[in-house]
């Protein structure tokens, strides 16, 4: 180890250059991880927040279920009659509105039954109430966009006014902040004709899905067969959110390429470094150093360079997250950052494996001129 540190000091220019590359790779991996997590949260945080175990969609809606699926009142009643199941309707759609203070916002309308297990509650103001069908509870992102408790949010081209009664935590769907409203009001928005006069007729008693809290004895497959629905675990329904699958595939692919680059770069550097110091390694062998000790010598140098570079890269990624986290979808929790950087260290050290054979096969006779 002492000799390894001496070599690091003697060739500090080369090792600083290599360390700088590791810093950039680690920082880039951390930033990509932060954007992957942040974009995911911005797409499905409202779905993650649902205190349900499953969502029952209409059969035949195999993709984009929240846009394509419609389940009726009979389906909801059927689910409520099943043993070991607590069921409530859920409506999901995207809308646009303007407040009476001329603040224009896009929002995801989540229709729920007030007082049900899907009721989000509030952090300020009053919650949803069956006696106030036009009342809505908005997420913190809408508050940031300028919506305030007491505002009236008029849904564009529909002539439907919504009274903001309270606020709740961060919640978004498809990169659009969520507003929670009674499911009857959601039906008016979902089935209204843009530009038409306000109709007094009752909208269809249909919903995007039935949210289910299933107990251990619930037979969901039998319920699907009987009711003609298709039930998915909530986590499996994330793919129904707009853009979620494409974003995950794109960002994960970038991460995979970065993880592949790290061992190649580190391995190439140490391969060249090992070739350049073969005479010194041969001298150590001639003086009695074991192959195991030479391996430890090489791995120690790699551990110092990769470990220090990764630590600095992690700090840069975390610092960038603090700078941009409030402006763009970026989330890098400590657990994710630690796991990501540990992976960078492991793949970086794996890259040194290509140099180990050259270290172990060096011959002492090289120093006596046999290899010259």
Kindly give, in sequence order, each residue whose CB lies less than 8 Å from that of residue 154, ignoring residues fewer than 6 positions away. Answer: 97, 98, 99, 100, 160, 161, 162
d(C-alpha 135, C-alpha 112), whole Å: 12
- Comparing 6 with 139, the larger pLDDT belongs to 139
Each residue's pLDDT tens digit, 326-335:
678 888 889 9
| pLDDT of the residue at 276 | 64
- pTM across the whole model: 0.81
d(C-alpha 69, C-alpha 63), whole Å: 9
Burial class (CB in 10 A: 0-12, 13-18, 19+), 72: middle
Kindly give, in sequence order, each residue whose CB lies less than 8 Å from that of residue 163, ignoring residues fewer than 6 positions away. Answer: 132, 134, 135, 136, 150, 151, 152, 153
| pLDDT of the residue at 180 | 97
d(C-alpha 85, C-alpha 304), whole Å: 56
Each residue's pLDDT tens digit, 198-230:
556 688 899 999 999 998 889 999 999 999 999
Structure tokens at 21: 């590359």
Average pLDDT over residues 56-77: 91
Model confidence at 5: pLDDT above 90? no
Percent of the chain whose predicted confidence (pLDDT) is above 90: 52
Each residue's pLDDT tens digit, 249-290:
999 899 899 888 888 888 888 777 666 666 666 666 666 566
Quickly state the pLDDT bin for 92 (edges 50, 70, 90).
very high
- Comparing 358 with 305, the larger pLDDT belongs to 305
| pLDDT of the residue at 367 | 54
Each residue's pLDDT tens digit, 142-158:
999 999 999 999 998 88
Quickly state the pLDDT bin for 193 (edges 50, 70, 90).
confident
Average pLDDT over residues 58-74: 90
């Amino acid at each position: 180890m002492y000799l390894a540190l001496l070599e690091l000091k003697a060739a500090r220019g080369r090792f600083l250059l290599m360390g700088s590359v590791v810093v950039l790779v680690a920082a880039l991996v951390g930033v990509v991880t932060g954007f992957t997590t942040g974009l995911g949260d911005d797409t499905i945080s409202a779905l993650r927040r649902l205190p349900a175990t499953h969502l029952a969609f209409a059969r035949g809606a195999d993709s984009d279920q929240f846009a394509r699926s419609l389940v009726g009142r009979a389906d909801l009643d059927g689910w409520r009659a099943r043993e070991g199941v607590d069921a409530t309707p859920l409506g999901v759609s995207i809308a646009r509105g303007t407040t009476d203070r001329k603040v224009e916002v896009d929002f995801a309308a989540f229709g729920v039954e007030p007082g049900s297990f899907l009721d989000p509650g509030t952090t300020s103001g009053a919650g949803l109430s069956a006696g106030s069908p036009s009342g809505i509870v908005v997420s913190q992102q809408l508050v940031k966009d300028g919506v305030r408790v007491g505002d009236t949010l008029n849904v564009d081209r529909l002539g439907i006014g919504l009274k903001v009664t309270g606020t709740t935590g961060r919640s978004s769907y498809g990169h659009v902040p969520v507003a929670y409203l009674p499911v009857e009001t959601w039906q008016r928005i979902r089935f209204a004709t843009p530009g038409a006069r306000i109709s007094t007729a009752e909208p269809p008693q249909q919903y995007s899905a039935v949210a289910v809290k299933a107990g251990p004895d619930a037979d969901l497959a039998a319920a699907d067969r009987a009711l003609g629905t298709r039930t998915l675990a909530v986590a499996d329904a994330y793919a129904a959110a707009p853009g979620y699958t494409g974003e995950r595939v794109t960002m994960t692919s970038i991460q995979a390429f970065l993880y592949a680059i790290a061992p190649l770069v580190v391995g190439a550097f140490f391969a060249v470094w090992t070739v350049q110091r073969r005479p010194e390694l041969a001298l150590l062998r001639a003086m009695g150093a074991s192959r195991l000790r030479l391996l430890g010598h090489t791995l120690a140098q790699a551990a110092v360079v990769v470990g220090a570079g990764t630590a600095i890269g992690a700090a840069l990624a975390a610092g960038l997250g603090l700078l941009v986290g409030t402006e763009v979808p970026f989330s890098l929790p400590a657990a994710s950052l630690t796991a990501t950087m540990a992976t960078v260290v492991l793949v970086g050290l794996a890259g040194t494996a290509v140099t180990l054979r050259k270290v172990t096969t060096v011959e002492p006779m090289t120093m006596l001129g046999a290899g010259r």
